[in-house]
Structure 1
Amino acid sequence: MRRNTRRRPLSAAVLVGVSLLAVGFGSVGAGADPAEQQAPTAQQLADLIGQGLKDPAAHPIADTGSAGSGSSCNSGSGAGSGNGSGDCYGGSGSSSGSSGGHSSDTVGYGPPSTSFLAAFGQALLNPNMAPPGSNDWNCKPTAEHPEPVVLIHGTWENAYDNFAYVSQPIHDAGHCVFTFNYGRSNLLEGGGLGSVLPGANGTGLIQDSAKQIATFVDRVLAATGAQKVNIVGHSQGGAVSRQYLKFEGGASEVHHLMTFGATNHGTTLDGIGALGRAINNFGIDVLGLIEIFVGHSGIQQTVGSDFVNQLNAGGDTVPGVDYTVVGTRYDEVTTPYDLTFLTPGPGATVRNITLQDGCEQDLSDHLTLMYSPRVLSIILNTLDPGQPVQCTFNPWLVGGGGKL
């Protein structure tokens, strides 16, 4: 099954929203004794949200915040240009900034790193550098490993700080490894305030970023002579790669898609995203204000957005691709973490993995997933099933490649 459907307790952010939205229920019982009025239950809140949805084709936000499938996209709509195919460039309530942005190649190489925090600091000084072992454009795949590996970073991240731990070992295992920086949008282009930070990429419209991935993968295939690639995507890197597979021709060019903490079905951001979507569904554009801070892609990744609905409409997978999907119980960004899991459709295989199943000592959170020895071993095992999957301690938040 894709995810647990049990009733979940509302987070603090949603409980605040329950209190705010209780006014809507209070009007139903106008004239009643205030002492007899009770705060709405989670299900009542979900029902109220469902009644107030702007798009009747969409699903209400309930329980885990999943909006399910269904799209409220219209051809030619959205916040930007170039969406003649009907892509939704802004989620519901998207109103800030304009579309824009670009991708860029890396320049030089950074050192190996076992810690996300250390790699993040390095990238602040050198935001365009490549992780070690990547982007050898003279690399030719071998008969044993005929498919290059393309690393796709997440929101507010870059090629180096996302993959400084895993890139060299993947290369040393005999694979050609490539990566780049996508979704580079400044504040005026709708990248949000986070985009002013050096090396903060992946902030532009996800549909634009998917086109940038398509162009980059074509370059990799041309340079290596390979027929297909394998993709490793972290966070938005998983969702944008699925956009590429579904809408930009990637299904014929990708063998394996491996995602880690991917926002495949959106995120509630511990309830904040769900609350914002709920208020938006009542006609108050709070997500437009939030978008000024988090950028286009941040809003697109919240539960119930037009982007998320369209990405999953008709099924989670595309034929011909094998999926390995990894989530961590300690994820504080993709929440609830099991929204990352996929359900296989025709012609596709899916392996859903909770990182802590059988390895409770791996405490990796969202940012330190790519600094986990267990994650690295899952990547290598997917590429070469003869490789063992490890179980090693990895600290929460700081990340240490298996040690403090």
Structure 2
Amino acid sequence: MRPALLGSVAVVLALALLSPSAAADQKYPVSYGVAGLAKAAEAQLTRPGSAPPGANNFSCKPSAAHPDPVVLVHGASANMTANWQTISPLLKNNGYCVFALTYGVPAGTPFPINQIGGRNPMEQSAVELSAFVDRVLAATGARKVDIVGHSEGSLMPNYYVKFLGGGAKVSDYVGLTPLWSGSNVANLANFYSLARMFGLGPVVDQLVDAVFPAARQFLRGSDFLAKMAEGGVAHPSVKYTTIMTKYDEAVVPYSSGYLKTPNATDVVLQNLCPQDYAGHGMVAFDPNATQVILNALDPANAKPVRCHFVPVSP
């Protein structure tokens, strides 16, 4: 073969390897459990602010099998880099267009504090999410997205769904460690209720809002949760799946995650897999939970959850 022809072949092969279709076929390693947590820590230390594996390819075009792009919404004090090192590559490997954002960082926050997301009031974060979803829809040409959220990311998007027009743009909504009724972790909800009863609410609000305004919105009985409950928590056009763990140390009680509505499926991991001891954070790296997610997004091809032992962990 002549040198010129060899060069042309090399160029064609190189372009093929760099094409979006080739990138779409790439398979990413998926780590679970403690290995997944270690991978998240490594990514945060070495690539802070980066998208998780397989996410944010805005040239991705959804397939007929999976027409809805998946938007991953991290938890409080987390970010897209650390939260989705397991679920993002898993979804990408299963043929989804995957997107993730870091939200809720006050403007002007310097590095590395800007890696702590989910701090702004959830109403503000919902506006960020709305803009991101619109960007995803415009890039992919899709009509709707699916949402997979963890902790605050299981709650905040529902404000977008109910009050910012997201109900027309979201198909499936999967919440990991959700807290629809709020949390009373460390009796903080009781303390906050007493503070308000004795007229100290504004003082507590000012102190909390200086550091983490969203924090008091998570508490059972908060004004934010009362607004979310107006007319029913669930939006009637959206299909919800909630994934809870009995060992949740942040959502207290864990049963705050139940929706109990006709368009919701409520899953307690230990009812499926008694040897799953995942805590609040570990659910995002839990192989039992990830199969529930895949089944929720694609029920026509659902597979039984093959239970894995998950040790006690954060």
Which band: TM-score by shorter chain? 0.7 to 0.9
Question: Are the equivalent residues in 1 in contact too, given 2:183–2:220 (CA < 8 A)?
Answer: yes
> How far is the alpha carbon of 1:119 from its aligned partner?
1.1
- From 302, 308, 313, the equivalent of 1:387 is 302
Indicate yes or no: 2:264 matched with 1:350.
yes
- From 133, 140, 162, the equivalent of 2:61 is 140
> How far is the alpha carbon of 1:380 from its aligned partner?
0.7
Question: Are the equivalent residues in 2 in contact too, given 1:148–1:229 (CA < 8 A)?
Answer: yes
> Using the alignment, how far apart are the partners of 2:41 and 2:183 within structure 1?
23
For residue 216 of structure 2, what is the aligned residue in structure 1? 299
Counterpart of 1:231, as a letter, is: I
Question: Are the equivalent residues in 2 in contact too, given 1:277–1:287 (CA < 8 A)?
Answer: no
Structure (1/2) with the larger helix percentage: 2
What is the TM-score of this pair, normalised by structure 1?
A: 0.65
For residue 131 of structure 1, what is the aligned residue in structure 2? 52
Counterpart of 1:170, as a letter, is: L
The alignment partner of 1:178 has SS state of: strand
Unaligned runs of 5+ in 2: 1-27
Q: Structure 1 275/111 Cα, relative in aligned 2: closer, same or farther at 3 Å?
A: farther
> How far is the alpha carbon of 1:266 from its aligned partner?
1.2
> How far is the alpha carbon of 1:149 from its aligned partner?
0.6
Unaligned runs of 5+ in 1: 1-109, 190-194, 399-404
> How far is the alpha carbon of 1:249 from its aligned partner?
0.5
Mapping of residues 49-64 of structure 1, within 5 Å: none
> Using the alignment, how far apart are the partners of 2:308 and 2:210 within structure 1?
36
For residue 317 of structure 1, what is the aligned residue in structure 2? 234
Indicate yes or no: 2:181 matched with 1:258.
no
Counterpart of 2:297, as a letter, is: L
Q: Structure 1 165/252 Cα, relative in aligned 2: closer, same or farther at 3 Å?
A: same
Question: Are the equivalent residues in 2 in contact too, given 1:152–1:232 (CA < 8 A)?
Answer: yes
Indicate yes or no: 2:167 matched with 1:167.
no
The alignment partner of 2:264 has SS state of: strand
The alignment partner of 1:123 has SS state of: helix
For residue 279 of structure 1, what is the aligned residue in structure 2? 195
- Kindly tell me the number of residue pairs found equivalent between the two proteins: 281
- From 73, 87, 103, the equivalent of 1:182 is 103
Counterpart of 1:341, as a letter, is: Y
The alignment partner of 2:212 has SS state of: helix
Question: Are the equivalent residues in 2 in contact too, given 1:112–1:131 (CA < 8 A)?
Answer: no
For residue 396 of structure 1, what is the aligned residue in structure 2? 312
What is the TM-score of this pair, normalised by structure 2?
A: 0.83
The alignment partner of 2:181 has SS state of: coil
Mapping of residues 230-245 of structure 1, within 5 Å: 230-245=146-161
> Using the alignment, how far apart are the partners of 1:172 and 1:343 within structure 2?
32
Relative contact order, CA 8 A, sep 6+: which one is greater?
1
> Using the alignment, how far apart are the partners of 1:288 and 1:316 within structure 2?
25
Q: C-alpha deviations, 1:350-380, integer Å up to 9, x for none?
A: 1011111031111111011000001110111
Q: Structure 1 289/222 Cα, relative in aligned 2: closer, same or farther at 3 Å?
A: closer
Q: Structure 1 279/300 Cα, relative in aligned 2: closer, same or farther at 3 Å?
A: same
RMSD: 2.2
> Using the alignment, how far apart are the partners of 2:44 and 2:260 within structure 1?
36
For residue 16 of structure 2, what is the aligned residue in structure 1? none
Q: Structure 1 218/289 Cα, relative in aligned 2: closer, same or farther at 3 Å?
A: closer
